[in-house]
Structure 1
Amino acid sequence: MGLLTFSLNVTLDGCVDHQAGIADDETHALFTRLMDEAGAMLWGRVTYEMMESYWPAVARGDVQAPPAEREWAVNLEAKPKYVVSSTRTEFPWTNSHHLAGDLREGVQKLKDANPDGVLLGSGKLATELDRLDLIDEYRLLVHPRIAGHGPTLYAGGLPSTRRLELISAEPLRNGAVAMHYRREPTGVSAGR
């Protein structure tokens, strides 16, 4: 069984607006590496539509883009992409699949079918999957910015605090820090 890894850009004040962070070659290379290591991508409909509106054109060469962005787009084109949506059922972008039915069961089956893991990149969907205890790891790129606006990470709240174990923290040249956390097993003492 593969791990479900939640990966997202976030500012110091928790903003997850994709325009609030730093988009440069270094950040694109980081996310390309994370995507390449995973067996599949998982998004909610809103994130899928945002990605679908831009990246296929970059992959085809219809849009001029720096080499790091083009590499991301080409790799993303080939990667299996799964979408959770109750309002849309057709996903024409190459290698896109609808994940319908019971969310817990569908995501668990996706994890079981992808020993290299699944990379989750949608904030609202992450909240729902965290409520179902399905997220195993967190790979957050923390940007040295205070956005002063939302949307914010986990704005919908969680029923309890998640204790995480730091696996690594890698500072980037642009000042962002790539944080890798693993969820602590249930029942771990808070006083250790």
Structure 2
Amino acid sequence: MGLLTFSINVTLDGCVAHQEGIADDETHAFFTRLMDEVGAMLWGRVTYEMMESYWPAVARGDAEAPRAIREWAVKLEAKPKYVVSSTRLAFPWTNSHHIGGELLTGVQRLKDATQDGVLLGSGKLATELDRLDLIDEYKFLVHPRIAGHGPTLYQSGLPSTRRLELISAKPLRNGAVAVHYRRAR
């Protein structure tokens, strides 16, 4: 069974709006390494649709992008992508697959089938999966910014506090800090 790792950009005040993070080569290299380490990506429908609206065009060369961004897009194109949705059934982007039905069963099945692990990149879905005790690790890129608005990490709450063990913390040149925590069991 592979691990389910939740990874997202987050500001110091917990904002996870994608436009609030630092988008540079170093940040993209961080997320490229994370993607390279796992066997599949997992998103909710809203995140999938945001990603689908841009990255396939970059991978095809239809959108102008720096080399690091294009490399990310090409790797993302090839990576299996799983989408949790109760409202959309068709996911035409290359290597995209639907997870429908009961959330616990569907995501546990994905974890069991993906020995190299699964990278989760959707905030709202993470809350639901954490409520089901399915998340094993957290790899956040904490940006040196205070957004002063939402959406925020775990905005709708959890039933109890999650105790985590620090595995590593690494500052980046751009001022962000890459933190890796494992769930304390």
TM-score (norm 1): 0.96
1:48-67 equivalent positions in 2, closer than 5 A: 48-67=48-67
Quick one: distance in 2 between partners of 1:40 and 1:21?
Answer: 23
Identity %: 85
Alpha-carbon displacement from aligned partner over 1:69-92 (angstroms, at most 9, x marks no partner): 111100000000000000000000
Deviation for aligned residue 1:101: 1.1
CA distance in 2, matches of 1:73, 1:60: 9
Once the two structures are superposed, residues 19-46 of structure 1 have per-residue CA deviations (whole angstroms, 9 ceiling, x without a partner) of 0010000000100010011000000000
Output the aligned Cα RMSD.
0.4
Partner of 2:144: 144
Please give the alpha-carbon distance, in whole angstroms, between the structure 2 residues aligned to 1:146 and 1:72.
Answer: 27
Match of 1:189 in 2: none
Count of paired positions: 185
Aligned to 2:167: 167
Residue matched to 2:125: 125
CA shift, 1:67, in A, is: 1.0
Q: 2:71 — aligned with what?
A: 71
Distance, in Å, in 2 between the alignment partners of 1:7 and 1:68 is: 19
| 1:96 Cα offset (Å) | 0.2
What's the CA shift string for 1:137-190, capped at 9, x where partnerless? 0000000000011000000100000000000001000000000000001xxxxx
Amino acid at match of 2:110: L
1:113 aligns to 2:113 (yes or no): yes
Q: Which consecutive unaligned segments of at least 5 residues does structure 2 have? A: none
| Deviation, structure 1 residue 100 | 0.8
Q: Per-residue displacement from partner, 1:120-141 (whole Å, max 9, x unpaired)?
A: 0000000000000000000000
Give the match for residue 91 of structure 2: 91
TM-score (norm 2): 1.00
Matched residues in 2 for 1:71 and 1:30: separation? Answer: 13
The 4+ residue runs of structure 1 with deviation greater than 6 A are none
Corresponding residue number in structure 2 for 1:179? 179
CA distance in 2, matches of 1:129, 1:149: 24
Given residue 170 of structure 2, which amino acid in structure 1 is its aligned partner? Answer: E
Q: Match for 2:25: what amino acid? A: D
What residue identity is the alignment partner of 2:109? Answer: K
